[in-house]
Amino acid sequence: MNLIRRPRRNRQSAAIRDLVQETRLEVTDFIFPLFIIEGEKTKTEVESMPGIYRRSLDLLLDEIQECVDLGINAFDLFPNLPESKKDKYATESTNPDGLYLRAIGEIKNRFPDVCLMTDVAMDPYSSDGHDGFVENGKILNDPTLEILGNMAVAQAKAGADMVGPSDMMDGRVGYIRNTLDSQGFTNVAIMSYTAKYASAFYGPFRDALESAPRFGDKKTYQMNYANSREALVEAELDYAEGADILMVKPALAYLDVIKLLKDNFDLPIAAYNVSGEYAMIKAASRNGWIDGERAMLESLTAIKRAGAKIILTYFAKEVAQLKANA
Ligand code: PBG
């Protein structure tokens, strides 16, 4: 055959494939989510997330040290609280002696150079299991903002470098920005959960935190997965309200949304490779149905290829270990 164009020429050896490879994962692209629980020398595996643990602070510090040694420099912390610490107002979220804020302080004390991201939303502390303030079965937007603003300031005071509002209330980015600034925390960044969809893929995370909604679902605040243009509306608001980084969540079923934000905004784009996405790959690979390591690398590379420079992923340590042993 007389073929002038033979795309296979660029695939014929590993050396050439490496030369033309467009997207490469770096350990510095990752933010590793961590789960903390009260206690000492305590470590319980999240059943639906093999390899992922809720750890007491002492063991969590050891885990962070291992990750730092592997080159991971960014972490996102989530608390698992006993039912007795939860109430309607998420009061525990601003308790300076509480598990979460104490842990932030100790982590930053021991690891001043890491980027510690914290979560701003009511659900881990709420007896209703919702991200906002509940009254008569409704999630109220504006009363929630004050609670979120106080939560963000408490986390900033404890040492957080970046806050991540994951609640999807209207106006929260601007409210949090103003509140942080008015208290002198102009350097604390906001990674907004800009396009956070009402997703079936959060199940294992809610197991990890025991934070599932006690009634109803999150569809009046998280987005409808059938919509992509709505993500542009959210992104325009977050941009105008001062977000530093825009995040899409989940990641794998939303690669088009990642690309949409990447093409339309000049802020860094992040994606959250969520618990259910992790669980699917782990479950199938445990059954011998897929090669877990290859599926992991393919998924993460696809998320980056779609336009997310930053990836929040439970696979962060595993990839870092692979690279270290390569
Ligand atoms: C809630 C929150 C959720 C996740 C991060 N923050 C779950 C939810 O909205 O119910 C999910 C993360 C994951 O599934 O890995 N504020």
Q: Which residue in 99, 86, 96 sits closest to 211, CA to CA?
A: 86
Does residue 275 have its Cβ closer than 6 Å to ligand 1? yes
Give the tokens for residue 217. Answer: 């679902």
- pLDDT for 21 equals 98
| Domain residue ranges of the chain, discontinuous segments joined by + | 23-325
Look at ligand 1, atom 9, and give the residue with the nearest C-alpha. 202
Does residue 205 have its Cβ closer than 6 Å to ligand 1? yes
- Whole-angstrom CA distances from 114 to 75, 162, 209, 306 are 8, 11, 24, 26
Q: How far is the CA of 129 from the centre of ligand 1 (A)?
A: 11
Q: How far is the CA of 204 from the centre of ligand 1 (A)?
A: 9
Look at ligand 1, atom 8, and give the residue with the nearest C-alpha. 202
Helix (H) or strand (E) holding 138: strand 138-140
- Whole-angstrom CA distances from 203 to 2, 154, 185, 226, 250 are 54, 28, 34, 19, 12
Q: Alpha-carbon distance 158 to 107, whole Å?
A: 10
Testing ligand 1's pocket by substitution, the residue of 166, 219, 225 carrying the most ligand atoms inside 8 A of its CB is 166
- pLDDT for 50 equals 97
* Residue tagged active-site, from 86, 196, 282, 304: 196
From the CA of 222, give the closest atom in ligand 1: 9
196 is catalytic: yes
Q: How far is the CA of 105 from the centre of ligand 1 (A)?
A: 23
Is the separation of the CB atoms in 48 and 204 below 8 Å? yes
DSSP state letter for 250: S
- pLDDT for 217 equals 94
Secondary structure in 3-state letters for 164-215: EECCCCCCHHHHHHHHHHHCCCCCCEEEEEEEEECCHHHHHHHHHHCCCCCC
Is the separation of the CB atoms in 162 and 192 below 8 Å? no
Q: Alpha-carbon distance 282 to 263, whole Å?
A: 32
Does residue 76 have its Cβ closer than 6 Å to ligand 1? no
DSSP state letter for 183: T
From the CA of 166, give the closest atom in ligand 1: 16
- pLDDT for 281 equals 98
Q: How far is the CA of 142 from the centre of ligand 1 (A)?
A: 21
Give the tokens for residue 64. Answer: 């962070």
From the CA of 276, give the closest atom in ligand 1: 14
**Who's near 172: CB < 8 A, 6+ residues apart?**
120, 144, 145, 148, 165
Task: For the chain, 326 residues long, give each residue's pLDDT as a single digit of tens.
Answer: 999 999 999 999 999 999 999 999 999 999 999 999 999 999 999 999 999 999 999 999 999 999 999 999 999 999 999 999 999 999 999 999 999 999 999 999 999 999 999 999 999 999 999 999 999 999 999 999 999 999 999 999 999 999 999 999 999 999 999 999 999 999 999 999 999 999 999 999 999 999 999 999 999 999 999 999 999 999 999 999 999 999 999 999 999 999 999 999 999 999 999 999 999 999 999 999 999 999 999 999 999 999 999 999 999 999 999 999 98
What is the CATH code for 23-325?
Answer: 3.20.20.70
* Residue tagged active-site, from 85, 86, 218, 249: 249
Q: How far is the CA of 234 from the centre of ligand 1 (A)?
A: 18
41 is catalytic: no
Q: Which residue in 197, 103, 78, 87 sits closest to 147, CA to CA?
A: 87
Q: How far is the CA of 51 from the centre of ligand 1 (A)?
A: 18
Q: In this predicted complex, what is the ipTM?
A: 0.97
Q: Alpha-carbon distance 268 to 20, whole Å?
A: 24
Testing ligand 1's pocket by substitution, the residue of 117, 148, 202 carrying the most ligand atoms inside 8 A of its CB is 202
